[in-house]
Chains A and B, each alone.
Chain A
Amino acid sequence: MVAKFDLSDDSVVVIIGTGAGGGVLANELAQKGVKVVALEAGGRYLPEDYINDEWESFGQLAWTEPRTTSGDWRVAKDFSGLPAWIVKAVGGTSIHWAGASLRFQDHEFKTKTHYGNVDGANLLDWPIDPAELAPYYDKAEAKLGVTRTGDRPGLPGNNNFKVLEKGAKSLGYEEVNTGHMAINSIEYDDRISCQQTGFCFQGCKWGAKWSSAYTDIPRGEATGNLEVRDHCHVARILHNDQGMASGVEYFDKEGNLQMQKAKIVCVAGNSIESPRVLLNSHSAMFPDGLANSSGQVGRNYMRHTTGSVYGVFDKPVKMWRGTTMAGIVRDEARHDPSRGFVGGYELETLSLGLPFMAAFLDPGGWGREFTSALDSYENMAGMWIVGEDMPQETNRITLNHSVEDAYGLPVANVNYTDHPNDRAMRDHAYARGKAIYEAVGATRTLPTPPYPSTHNLGTNRMSENPRDGVVNKHGQTHDVPNLFISDGSQFTTGAAENPTLTIVALAIRQADFIAGELSKGNI
């Protein structure tokens, strides 16, 4: 029986967002008997609704509300109104993600210690020790059914992976495999195994890939403790005279302003919308926005050092067949400053269909240099670079008061400029990617600039000291004890790994903490 809570019920936990962070937190709390209202800006779409068509699916799932961009990153020029490719739906970007589920390396929790002072970088150690998170990584891997963990086998390699594997191994790379993926290699948790359909980014029509949309959300609802309200767009978080969060104002499906009272508020709207909500919640008591006494809300925006390399061969690859992110090279993920940069990067296969390849291969490009590459589309293999980018205070989300959304709220501006370390890393990765494909006989290789961001991180970061960040080691804001951050915006640094597994592990851990605090009467 799906729960239905009254707007005036001030005993509920209100969670903003239902993706990998909010969706998991909602279910974990509901399983523990905590009453939850989850507010989701998007609608409900399940595997039967997903579309094997890139632009149609984009229209169905993507967050396309206005945003603005600035800074020297190329996305600001090529996709000025689309800084991020993330999802607006129940289940959030866990519908779109590729499924790569990697644990951070231990040193990546302590970058200030290991990387030292990097000019212009706002590095900081996480206030969590790797050992503290390890048991939650175990739980997250079991929840997501991650391949190559537990007793789950790896996925079979598709054509795109085989090209990467052969090239990488011939260069001497050793950690080359079909990855740790939240895509079933065998039937697991009532979900079937991967049918090698492709279109992982468009929502898995088989449900073989984990998404909170069809796992945690319905399971949470089945407890009777979770109510998910879709098409509810949050405007601001309210607080009482004591400076405690007291409720959330949102526009409902009909566009009417509503207010849900709350005992606890958890923000999981991703690293662009979460700081936007806090900044839009400014008041006389919190003139710079909620939980922003440090001035760090919105700052240190990270999006991973990315880019792609496509190799063109004299024979067909048909890279679109099968798992989109079908394999990985991990050897460069280590921290080895002798390469000319701190931190490391992963190389992961990626494929785009013809429509998105045309849009992203060389945005703005035209003429025969461009079209001759597309003419070889069938003979292409592709990989994506995922590397640790430097947190910088000036890379940040701010409110753009000259542009309003449909509800009259100022939109988020995303300012991003590459750090010299980011550029050095990207150039290194481009060269290694090129070498990998040339080792297999590529007749042409193409570097592709970063796509609109899917890994949006760090804008409400964790810190030991309240001066340095927005939340503590539990995601609890330093300033407002009953206000939590539950998504990737709490990341202190970004690491080289795809972030979702860590978001899920932190959400499971936060649920334990919140339930514990509630039972102890601390909140």
Chain B
Amino acid sequence: MATKASSKGLTRRQLLARATVAGASFVVGSGFMAARNAAWATELSALKPTTFATLVQMARDIYPHDKIDDQYYVIAVKGYDSPDTADEIEAGIAALDAAARGKGFANYLETGWEKDRVAILRGMEESPFFQKIRGGLVTGLYNQKAVWPIFGYEGESYSKGGYINRGFDDIDWL
């Protein structure tokens, strides 16, 4: 993994470095830093790293699945890292941070407990920004084929001949 930043982008290492500089509370979650995947290898091109990290935390707080790694939330919101949406996202996250400050926290990311963050989100759930992020996650998160097996969902079955010989009626506990 290169550490060289593009003109506008940041590499994973730089992002993590800044996260470290900002202190542990900046970290989107220990699982995030420990991720074994290359999700964070994607360079940010438009959003500030703190903004993106906050967005990822927001995504998890909206649709929290403890068995789903951060990498899938990163993929789900990565599309907002674009010049077309950057201003809107920066403004939305700024409003989220302001709401966190209104409740006595430094910002959203440093609001340490999920229940406190959820309370902040509840206060803005009718806002267009919240609805945009939530609505986008419905497909952005749950339509990732890689998350389906985590829920047990088997997806496409035609190429395997359907379930006629593969357990369409295999329920054994009734």
A residues contacting B by CB (< 8 A) are: 52-53, 55, 156-159, 162-163, 166, 194-199, 205-206, 315-318, 320-322, 353-355, 357-359, 364, 366-368, 370-371, 374-375, 377-378, 440
Shortest Cβ distance from A367 into B: residue:
B118
Partner of A320 from the list B125, B134, B147, B154 (CB cut-off 8 Å) is B154
In the bound complex, do residue B154 and residue A374 qualify as a contact, i.e. CB atoms below 8 Å apart?
no
Question: 3 tightest CB-CB pairs across the interface, nearest first?
Answer: A378-B152, A197-B162, A195-B162
Partner of A163 from the list B125, B164, B174 (CB cut-off 8 Å) is B174
Query: Given the interface contacts A52-B156, A374-B151, does A366 sit within 8 Å of B62 by beta carbon?
Result: yes
* CB-defined contacts of B147 to chain A, threshold 8 Å: 354
Partner of B62 from the list A315, A317, A357, A367 (CB cut-off 8 Å) is A367
Bound Cα distance from A76 to B152, whole angstroms = 32
In the bound complex, do residue B153 and residue A353 qualify as a contact, i.e. CB atoms below 8 Å apart?
yes
Shortest Cβ distance from B157 into A: residue:
A197
Closest Cβ–Cβ distance, residue A503 to chain B (whole Å): 28
Query: Given the interface contacts A198-B163, A199-B157, A354-B153, does A55 sit within 8 Å of B169 by beta carbon?
Result: no
In the bound complex, do residue A166 and residue B138 qualify as a contact, i.e. CB atoms below 8 Å apart?
no
Partner of B168 from the list A321, A353, A354, A374 (CB cut-off 8 Å) is A321
Q: Does B161 contact A (CB under 8 A)?
A: yes
* CB-defined contacts of A375 to chain B, threshold 8 Å: 65, 67, 151
Query: Given the interface contacts A196-B164, A197-B163, A367-B118, does A355 sit within 8 Å of B171 by beta carbon?
Result: no
- Sampled A-B contacts (12; CB under 8 Å): A52-B159, A158-B169, A195-B162, A196-B168, A197-B161, A199-B157, A316-B171, A371-B65, A374-B142, A375-B67, A378-B153, A440-B174
Partner of B65 from the list A157, A206, A374, A440 (CB cut-off 8 Å) is A374
Further pairs besides A158-B163, A368-B64: 16, Cβ < 8 Å: A52-B156, A53-B156, A156-B168, A159-B171, A162-B169, A195-B161, A195-B162, A196-B168, A197-B162, A197-B163, A317-B171, A320-B154, A322-B162, A354-B151, A366-B125, A440-B174
Closest Cβ–Cβ distance, residue B154 to chain A (whole Å): 7
B residues contacting A by CB (< 8 A) are: 62-65, 67, 118, 125, 134, 138-139, 141-143, 147-148, 151-159, 161-164, 166-171, 173-174
* CB-defined contacts of B169 to chain A, threshold 8 Å: 156-159, 162, 322
* CB-defined contacts of A321 to chain B, threshold 8 Å: 154, 157, 163, 166-168
Bound Cα distance from A197 to B67, whole angstroms = 28
Shortest Cβ distance from A359 into B: residue:
B138
Bound Cα distance from A52 to B164, whole angstroms = 16
Bound Cα distance from A367 to B164, whole angstroms = 37
Q: How many A-B residue pairs have CB under 8 A?
A: 113
In the bound complex, do residue B118 and residue A158 qualify as a contact, i.e. CB atoms below 8 Å apart?
no
Closest Cβ–Cβ distance, residue A470 to chain B (whole Å): 38
Chain A contact surface mostly: loop
Shortest Cβ distance from B141 into A: residue:
A358
In the bound complex, do residue B163 and residue A163 qualify as a contact, i.e. CB atoms below 8 Å apart?
no
In the bound complex, do residue B64 and residue A371 qualify as a contact, i.e. CB atoms below 8 Å apart?
yes
In the bound complex, do residue B163 and residue A322 qualify as a contact, i.e. CB atoms below 8 Å apart?
yes
Query: Given the interface contacts A55-B139, A378-B153, does A354 sit within 8 Å of B148 by beta carbon?
Result: yes
In the bound complex, do residue B158 and residue A205 qualify as a contact, i.e. CB atoms below 8 Å apart?
yes
Shortest Cβ distance from B152 into A: residue:
A378
Partner of B63 from the list A317, A371, A378 (CB cut-off 8 Å) is A371
Closest Cβ–Cβ distance, residue A460 to chain B (whole Å): 35
In the bound complex, do residue A353 and residue B155 qualify as a contact, i.e. CB atoms below 8 Å apart?
yes
In the bound complex, do residue B143 and residue A55 qualify as a contact, i.e. CB atoms below 8 Å apart?
yes
* CB-defined contacts of A205 to chain B, threshold 8 Å: 158
Bound Cα distance from A440 to B155, whole angstroms = 26
Bound Cα distance from A52 to B161, whole angstroms = 12
In the bound complex, do residue A354 and residue B63 qualify as a contact, i.e. CB atoms below 8 Å apart?
no
* CB-defined contacts of B159 to chain A, threshold 8 Å: 52
In the bound complex, do residue A158 and residue B168 qualify as a contact, i.e. CB atoms below 8 Å apart?
yes
Bound Cα distance from A195 to B168, whole angstroms = 9
Closest Cβ–Cβ distance, residue A194 to chain B (whole Å): 8
* CB-defined contacts of A366 to chain B, threshold 8 Å: 62-63, 125, 134
In the bound complex, do residue B139 and residue A355 qualify as a contact, i.e. CB atoms below 8 Å apart?
yes
In the bound complex, do residue A197 and residue B158 qualify as a contact, i.e. CB atoms below 8 Å apart?
yes
